[in-house]
Amino acid sequence: MQTHTILGGKVQLFKRGQVWFARASVNKQQIKKSTGSDSLSLAQQVAEDWYLGLRGKSRAGLPLKEVREATFNDMADLFEVEYEIITEGERSPKWVAGHKARLRLHLRPFFGKMGISQITSGDIQNYRLYRAQQHGRLPAKDGEGAYVKPLKPPSRSTLHDEIGTLSLVLQTAVRHGKLGAIPMLSPPYKKQRKVIHRPWFTGEEYKQLYRATAAAAKAAPEAYRWNYEQLHDQVLFLGNTGLRPDEASRLQHRDVTIALDPDTGEEILEIEVRGKTGYGPCKSMPGAVEPYRRLLARARPMKLGRKVERERLERRGQAVPISPEYPKRTDLLFPSNHTDLFNDILKAHDLKEDREGQPRVLYSLRHTYICLRLLDGADIYNLAKNCRTSVEMIENNYAIHLKHMIDASAINRRKSKPKLKARRQRVKTPDADGDE
């Protein structure tokens, strides 16, 4: 190995491959650095400047070795570990997986190698522009392979969720001293959004919906009747509990109890809900009890398999599984997804879109529950607790567009006019002397 010394032996130069490296000891620390040159004379000049810089740092009390700045990827890794452990039991696994997916698909490719302190508000705005040039969910194609609808960028709510995940990573960097302050995250040219209510079913439309699902269940072929009956009870269950569809999909029979309401004397369901906000209780309307009893008593049809397999079991003397399975305590209330059936019924009865043209989905049954409860005069605070949301959320998205929430008597009050004196008494009353 070729070796040279300079500055009286304080710095040694050695060669690795074609590049010269410098080595020195300062404050009992041996430090190495590449000169980046294959020329010995240039390497000596770089090594001298480097050694003098080390001596200056030593006298100033500064760290001698260059500390690599934490990158966005480092803070994202730390955030994923912390968030999953700290929020265990408070946030659903699906909610945590959403943050990881946004980091993996969008945030890490853009910010990943950037130093965490180098991320500015301008970089965040560039990220918005970068995402605006991409496409969200691609629409369907026609027979020739062309898209039926024009391509659209990701929706406002999608970008809002991604910026929320970015904010959580930056907050992690601030807590660990890697970032002084979080840059401004709000968009610079924010549009004023008009209030658009959530799509829901009015009372008459809700009746039309569950009557349509009941009629479809009766008319369905035997092979598909179980699916239609499950959909009918799911519509009634969601409309009388206000559960989110993802919360209902996680419900097991051991989470539901039929109880007696001490105030009304009617039977209701007491539900232990586990959703995006963690655990939360829910008390249903009496209309959810009968659909749940039907769910308990409905046996799921067995999958008999192919005819060849059944004949093989019979030849071996083994029993062919023909007995239906009834729900157990640990079984899901709604083990299957009936979204396609639900959309077909909505389109058949002209219920797919509301008055504003917004498409209705299973989530609209939660909005229907909240709106109908407000129209019936339910207390908004208790309604928020039962739906595991905030009063502000209900006021901004539900109560604001319901006409029954406006007290007409409080608006149409008029100031009472003073009664006119009888003919204003133009003629004064005469006194005792007869004078006016």
Considering the domain boundaries, does residue 415 fall inside one? no
Each residue of 395-405: pLDDT tens digit? Answer: 887 776 666 55
Task: State the Cα–Cα distance between residues 304 and 39, nearest whole angstrom.
Answer: 80
Chain segment 319-352, per-residue pLDDT in tens? 655 566 788 999 999 998 889 999 999 999 999 9
The answer to whether 363 touches 244, Cβ cutoff 8 Å, is: yes
Q: What CATH number should be reported for the domain holding residue 333?
A: 1.10.443.10
CA angle 61, 67, 73 (to 5 degrees): 150
pLDDT(110) > 90: yes
Mean pLDDT over residues 288-294, rounded?
95
pLDDT tier for residue 409 given thresholds of 50, 70 and 90: low
The per-residue pLDDT for 355 is 84
Q: Region 152-162: what's the mean pLDDT?
A: 87
Specify if 185 maps to a domain: no
User: For 144-180, what is the HEC assignment?
Assistant: CCCECCCCCCCCHHHHHHHHHHHHHHHHHHHHCCCCC
The pLDDT-based confidence of 19 (bands split at 50, 70, 90) is confident
**77 and 38 within one domain:** no
The number of beta carbons lying within 10 Å of the beta carbon of residue 299 is: 11
Claim to verify: residue 170 and residue 212 sit in the same structural domain: no
Residue 248 lies in a domain: yes
Q: Closest by alpha carbon to 199, among 367, 413, 45?
A: 367
Q: Is the pLDDT of residue 98 over 80?
A: yes
Q: Which residue has the higher pLDDT, 143 or 114?
A: 114
State whether 158 and 215 are in the same domain.
no
Residues 18 and 39 in one domain: yes
Is 180 contained in some domain?
Answer: no
| Cβ–Cβ < 8 Å for 238, 222 | no
Residue 31 is predicted with a pLDDT of 80
User: Do 253 and 366 lie in a common domain?
Assistant: yes
Residue 405 pLDDT: 56
Check whether residue 257 and residue 312 sit in a common domain: yes
Domain count, the chain: 3
Helices (H), 152-299: 156-175, 203-219, 225-241, 245-250, 289-297
**pLDDT for residue 225 is more than 80:** yes
**Residue 356: pLDDT band by 50, 70, 90 thresholds?**
confident
- Examine residue 184 and state whether it is found in any structural domain, yes or no: no
At 227 the pLDDT is: 92
- Asked whether residue 81 falls in the same domain as residue 118, the answer is yes
Instruction: Identify the bridge partners of residue 11 per DSSP, sorted by sequence position.
Output: 6, 24
**pLDDT tens per residue, range 230-287:** 999 999 999 999 999 989 999 999 999 999 998 888 999 999 998 766 788 999 999 9
In a domain, 416, yes or no: no
Q: Which of 32, 60, 88 is the last residue of a domain?
A: 60
DSSP assigned state of 276: T
**Average pLDDT over the chain, rounded to an integer:** 83
Task: Answer whether residue 364 shows pLDDT above 90.
Answer: yes
Q: What's the rounded mean pLDDT across residues 364-375?
A: 92
Are residues 369 and 298 part of one domain?
yes
Asked, for residue 182, whether it belongs to a domain, the answer is: no
At 343 the pLDDT is: 94
The pLDDT of residue 39 is 85
Instruction: Look at 38 and 289; give whichever has higher pLDDT.
Output: 289
Inside any domain, residue 335: yes
pLDDT at 150: 74
Same domain, 244 and 364: yes
pLDDT for res 187: 83
Per the model's pLDDT, the better-predicted residue between 382 and 317 turns out to be: 382
The parent domain of residue 7 ranges over 3-60
- Indicate whether 362 and 249 sit together in one domain: yes
Give the per-residue pLDDT at 404: 55
Q: Are residues 260 and 353 in the same domain?
A: yes
Confidence check: pLDDT of 388 > 70? yes
Q: Pick the residue with more confidence: 170 or 400?
A: 170
Q: Is the pLDDT of residue 72 over 60?
A: yes
User: Is 307 a residue whose pLDDT tops 70?
Assistant: no
Q: Do 84 and 38 fall within a single domain?
A: no
Environment class of residue 76 by beta-carbon count within 10 Å: exposed (0-12), middle (13-18) or buried (19+)?
buried
Residue with tokens 């019979």: 314
Cα distance between residue 301 and residue 380, in whole Å: 42
